[in-house]
Amino acid sequence: MAVALSRQTMTDEQRKSVALEYLKGFDNGGVTSDGAPLLDLFASDAQVYFPKWGLATGKEEIGRLFGDVGATITSIRHHYASFNWIFSGGDTVVCEGTSHGEHRDGPWRAGVPEWGAGRWCDVFEIRDWLIQRVFIYLDPDYAGADTARYPWLADG
């Protein structure tokens, strides 16, 4: 007996709405707009990559990743008006943006200094109203403390 898998067709705007809910959840302390945990936006076998942490697979590992990274960040605000969205015509959506906030080592704001933290790019796979995958590309040195290894920063 063949089993039919049901998949919901999504538009780019619907995928974008899921990605926005995810980003706003971080700005809201890990809670979605309807009060649900951020992890509710993920498929059970989803993957998340974060620099210097690695790849988390499944909600339990993703929760650990978010807990580890979140323990270092007091607050974050994404700059929604300046987001750059790229749609693939399929499940993949890319969002490039900026943010500011407070890290345990100090504050950050995109562009202050120009080489500092705050610029990021997230690559999402969103299917059936759930995040299947998000790879986060950013400089995790939020406070800009890692300058000794980059001689060109001493010149500025």
Q: What is the pLDDT of residues 12-55, one digit of tens each?
A: 999 999 999 999 999 999 999 999 999 999 999 999 999 999 99
pTM (two decimals): 0.90
Burial class (CB in 10 A: 0-12, 13-18, 19+), 130: middle
Please tell me which residue, 86 or 6, carries the higher pLDDT value. 86
Average pLDDT over residues 4-16: 82
What's the token pair of residue 109? 């704001």
CATH hierarchy code of domain 12-139: 3.10.450.50
Q: What distance in Å separates the CA atoms of residue 109 and residue 118, rounded to the nearest whole number?
A: 6
For range 120-137, the mean pLDDT: 98
CB atoms within 10 A of CB 151: 8
3, pLDDT greater than 60? no
End-to-end Cα, the chain, rounded Å: 68
Strands 42-50 and 130-138: parallel
Structure-block tokens of residue 56: 């988390």
Q: How many CB atoms lie within 10 A of CB 21?
A: 19
- Please give the structure tokens belonging to residue 92: 């993949």
Which tokens in the block code for residue 12? 């780019």
pLDDT at 150: 86
Say whether pLDDT at 133 is over 70.
yes
> What percent of the chain shows pLDDT beyond 70?
94
Domain ranges of the chain: 12-139
Q: How does pLDDT run across 81-104, given as a tens digit for each residue? A: 999 999 999 999 999 999 999 999
Half-sphere exposure of 20 (CA within 13 A, CB side): 14
Summarised one tens digit per residue, pLDDT across range 63-87 is 999 999 999 999 999 999 999 999 9
With tokens 């906030």, the residue in question is 101
